Each structure stands twice: as structure tokens, then as C-alpha cells.
């Protein structure tokens, strides 16, 4: 009798605990959604006097952590800096730029949670993503390509269309979704970031790594044993993203982007980051 009582108590306690947890989670979801709405990014950044940009920290040329100064450096970071200066001029509110490293998988959630105000992070504009975030005009033209070891029998993505081959990609990138369309029979393994994908390629865990050509150029530059083959097989322009329904902020950013393209700052940045990359015709990238 005593034992049955104890057991009943245990069961009831478990149910109550589980119910509390579930209700708590539902409440948290609702609150999180409410917080995400009706927040004007432009007025927020003006009030806080700084724009917090999400940038990559693992991508050579675009956003790579400088371990000595503990700040990310790259084309994306410089674009974010130039935009901040320009937006400050347009709005008449002095603002500084702050950088937060984001991954391909985390950036959209961080925007939604307002941990970051905007993101310049090698982010391809896609129709699906445009439903959840707002994009500016494209600031860089990229396309998906593959990186293989020199002397490899693979010369294009079509050569990979065989179950014995593995393509390495990064979680949350467009390449993770697109690769299957071009090589449906190949295995696709997604790793956490570009650095581990590159290490996995070197360890022979896959025959090719696939992502945007501009990112691959950075790796080819660092690893002379590897080369880009087959050219681009997709077209994916990069955009700067803000949270959904942030028209005032997007308008400001578009105006700023047009201005830096016009006054030559954009071309200076292109030259600064891409003129040293072998095999890339950086003059093509200028506007």
C-alpha cells in the first residue's frame, strides 16, 4: 500500500513537472515572437548609437578572426564599416560599428532575437530566406563552385554524381541545399564551419568541398595543393540582411550602398581584398 502511494505520487509529480515545462516553453515561444515584432531596427540603432553587425569569423577574405586583435577582418567587415559611416551621415546620428561573429546556421536566429542589428556575412539572397529576413540590393556577385585536390579525377560537379563520392558543405549554407540538385547521387556531409570542412577535405573525408566561389578562392589561396574546378554552377548574389519588415533600415542601407559604390569606396575595398587572389579576375568584381 505504502509503495503504491509513493509510486502514484511519483507519477503525478512527473506529470506536473512535464506540464510546467511544456507550458513554460509555449509561453516563452509566444513572448519571443511578440518581442520579435514591432521593433524598428533603424530607431533602435539610432538610440543605441551603434550598429551591431553579424559577420563571419571563419571565412578568408570576407570575415576571418584576426587572433592577435580578436576582431574579424575582411571584405564583409569593411563593407559593414563603410555602411555604418554612410548611414551616420544620412541620418545625422553618429553611430559606431560593432562586430559579432556569426555562423551560417545561427545568423538568421540572431537577427530575429535582435542580438545583431544586421548581417553582412556572405549571405546569398534566396526566395525562402527573403520570406524571413529583409535583404538590401546585392553587394557582391557569387556562385557555387567546387574545390578539389590537384590531380583529382573530378573536373566538375557532374563528375561527383556517384554514391562513392562525398561532397563536403557547411550547415546552413545555400550549397548544403543546392548540391543535391546538381549531383543527386553523391553523399553530402555538412560540417559546422568552413575551417572544419576544409580539414575534412584534407583528411580525405570527401573528394570535394562546395560553397561560393569567392570563399573557395580564399581556401585555394591558403592551400596551394587544392584548386577550383568546373566554374560556377549557380548564381547567388550576396545581400545584407536585416530582420523582417524593416523598410526604413533597408532603405538607409540601400542608399548607403549606392553611395559607396558611386564614390569609389566599394571599388577600393574590392581591390584591397581581391587583387591578391590568384586565378580571380578582381576587375570583374568592380562596379
Partner 1 sequence: MGLLQNYFSTFLQGFGYTLLSSVVALVGSMLLGTLFAIMQVLPTRWMQIVGNIYVQIFRNIPLLIITLFLYLAVAKVVKMNGFTAGTIALTLYTSAFIAETVRAGILSVDSGQMEGARANGLKFGQAMRYIVLPQAFRVALPSLGNQFINLVKNSSILAFVGGLDLMYQGNMVAANSFDTFTAYIIVGIFYLVLTLPLSYYMQYLEQHLKAKA
Question: By the criterion CB under 8 A, which residues form the site for partner 1?
Answer: 25, 29, 32, 104-106, 108-109, 128-129, 132, 168, 171-172, 176-177, 189-192, 196, 199-200, 202-205
- Least distance CB 232 / partner 1 (angstroms): 22
Please, which residue, 141 or 152, has the CB nearer to partner 1? 152
Grid cell in block for residue 203: 583528411
- Least distance CB 249 / partner 1 (angstroms): 19
Please, which residue, 129 or 255, has the CB nearer to partner 1? 129
Pairing of strands 71-73, 63-66: antiparallel
Grid cell in block for residue 253: 542601407
Please, which residue, 19 or 25, has the CB nearer to partner 1? 25
Please, which residue, 25 or 287, has the CB nearer to partner 1? 25
Distance CA 75, CA 94 (A): 23
Please, which residue, 70 or 203, has the CB nearer to partner 1? 203
- Least distance CB 16 / partner 1 (angstroms): 16
Under 8 Å CB-to-CB from 140, ≥6 apart: which residues?
75, 214, 237, 238, 285
Distance CA 164, CA 31 (A): 47
CA dihedral of 23, 26, 27, 29, whole degrees rounded to 10: 160
> Could you tell me where the beta strands, DSSP code E, fall in 232-271?
236-243
- Least distance CB 108 / partner 1 (angstroms): 5
- Least distance CB 93 / partner 1 (angstroms): 31
Amino acid at each position: 500500500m505504502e509503495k503504491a502511494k509513493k509510486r502514484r505520487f511519483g507519477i503525478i509529480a512527473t506529470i506536473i513537472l512535464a506540464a510546467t515545462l511544456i507550458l513554460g516553453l509555449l509561453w516563452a515561444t509566444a513572448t519571443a515572437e511578440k518581442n520579435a515584432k514591432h521593433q524598428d531596427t533603424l530607431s533602435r540603432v539610432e538610440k543605441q548609437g551603434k550598429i551591431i553587425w553579424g559577420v563571419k569569423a571563419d571565412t578568408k577574405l570576407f570575415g576571418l578572426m584576426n587572433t592577435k586583435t580578436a576582431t574579424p577582418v575582411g571584405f564583409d567587415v569593411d563593407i559593414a564599416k563603410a555602411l555604418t559611416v554612410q548611414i551616420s551621415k544620412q541620418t545625422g546620428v553618429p553611430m559606431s560599428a560593432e562586430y559579432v561573429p556569426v555562423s551560417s546556421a545561427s545568423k538568421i536566429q540572431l537577427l530575429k532575437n535582435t542580438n545583431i542589428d544586421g548581417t553582412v556575412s556572405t549571405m546569398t539572397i534566396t526566395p525562402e530566406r527573403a520570406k524571413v529576413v529583409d535583404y538590401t540590393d546585392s553587394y557582391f556577385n557569387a556562385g557555387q563552385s567546387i574545390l578539389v585536390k590537384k590531380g583529382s579525377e573530378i573536373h566538375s560537379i557532374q563528375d561527383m554524381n556517384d554514391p562513392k563520392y562525398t561532397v563536403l558543405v557547411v550547415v546552413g549554407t545555400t550549397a548544403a541545399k543546392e548540391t543535391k540538385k546538381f549531383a543527386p547521387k553523391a553523399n553530402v556531409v555538412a560540417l559546422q564551419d568552413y575551417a572544419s570542412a576544409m580539414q575534412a577535405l584534407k583528411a580525405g573525408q570527401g573528394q570535394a568541398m562546395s560553397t561560393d566561389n569567392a570563399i573557395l578562392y580564399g581556401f585555394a589561396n591558403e592551400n596551394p595543393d587544392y584548386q577550383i574546378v568546373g566554374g560556377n554552377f549557380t548564381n547567388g548574389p550576396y545581400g545584407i540582411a536585416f530582420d523582417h519588415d524593416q523598410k526604413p533600415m533597408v532603405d538607409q542601407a540601400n542608399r548607403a550602398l549606392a553611395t559607396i559604390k558611386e564614390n569609389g569606396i566599394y571599388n577600393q575595398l574590392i581591390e584591397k581584398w581581391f587583387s591578391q587572389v590568384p586565378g580571380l579576375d578582381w576587375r570583374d568584381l568592380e562596379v
